[in-house]
A = this chain, B = another copy of it.
């Protein structure tokens, strides 16, 4: 509409008043350095916040807040906007009182159970790696049909950070774990829920699983597990146990509440899949996306995110006609193992209706499925692991909305 594009046009024949008269910030002295010893975003960014989806959970302590993907750039999620999922609320734990214990379900599985302080853990060989974390229930609201309006609510249980920590394998080695017998790891948190999940020893042995204390250059945020969380690259977020206080090696999986009652995927035949962990390749266009309105016809950079729990993203294709024809998008590098990958593609909107989709392919050759393909196997009540191709419909007014293409 004309009202929306007014600021784009010159306001008088002479030119734009914002140019002809110098603005206040160009004609005055600003604020000193360290005015904010720890900085915050601009006051004009206050609309991008993590938000709950009304009606999703009954209590805030066992709920989700979604990251505002519709306004984020690149692959690093600002830590202040990292999605949250707690089961018994979050605490700001005193690191000087926090301990990490490593023990065995049986004494025969390791040489000695040990206790580590933060002082000690932070002396060990550290690694820093960029990884995505996605809740297994991300996009879960949409298994049956379109349910929520924006990418914040469809895909916002997704974040990506640079994590720093100690590969868990070093700790298990230090305790003399018998890897032949101990094929499972129980990770336990220090919050009220003492969240527990079984982690496959294969992933620990690969060196990828980390006991992390750093996130995006600083310590983990309290909401994300300060001072320690497990990082299990490629695996759903619930396994990335926050406020990590104990690691037990065992010879059987543990069937904890969040792998025996939740985070189990209901199939059409009434069976539930247990220990479903890996997040398969997925992608979503974030700009433009549901609940947004394009200001004008013409050129647009269409931008989105792709990721895979099985490794690197190899290719992302974008369709503007609901999946009939596809074009390969540019990937912003470097493309990393089990990390978000930002893709961009040029587009000129001619003002006619369009349906935008993105389709990720990972290094195993796996291609993100359509809703039709996925529902054929998994039905519509799976709750978890919905990685179907997302569609955004654009109508003449420029309004973008959430639709599902089969």
Contacts and interface: CB of A to CB of B under 8 A. Distances in A.
Contacts of A295: 119
A332 B86 CA distance: 31
Contact of A128 (B74, B128, B191): B74
A52 B73 contact: no
Nearest to A123: B300
Nearest to A32: B60
Contacts of A192: 25-30
A89 B48 CA distance: 26
Question: How many copies are assembled?
Answer: 2
Given A162-B75, A191-B25, A91 B216 contact: no
Interface residues of A, number: 114
Contact of A84 (B34, B191, B213): B34
Interface in A95-143: 95-99, 101, 115, 117, 119-120, 122-129
Question: Which of A31, A213, A227 has the most chain B CB within a 10 Å cutoff?
Answer: A31
B34 A50 contact: yes
A1 interface: no
Contacts of A245: 26
A144 interface: no
Nearest to A90: B30
Nearest to A72: B217
Contacts of A194: 26
Contact of A75 (B24, B71, B119, B128): B128
Contacts of A374: none
A122 to B, nearest CB: 8
A41 interface: yes
Contacts of A300: 123
A7 interface: yes
A283 interface: no
B44 A95 contact: yes
A97 B217 CA distance: 33
Contacts of A117: 7-8
Interface in A62-98: 63-65, 71-82, 84-86, 88-98
A320 interface: no
10 contacts: A16-B99, A23-B97, A26-B190, A26-B192, A32-B59, A44-B226, A73-B126, A78-B218, A81-B217, A127-B332
A115 B19 contact: yes
B74 A162 contact: yes
Given A26-B191, A192-B27, A217-B74, A96 B7 contact: yes
A223 interface: yes
Q: Nearest 3 A-B pairs (CB), nearest first?
A: A32-B60, A30-B89, A73-B214
Contact of A344 (B92, B126, B226, B298): B126
A42 B92 contact: yes
A222 interface: yes
B219 A88 contact: no
Interface string A223-244: 1001100000000000000010
A370 B60 CA distance: 57
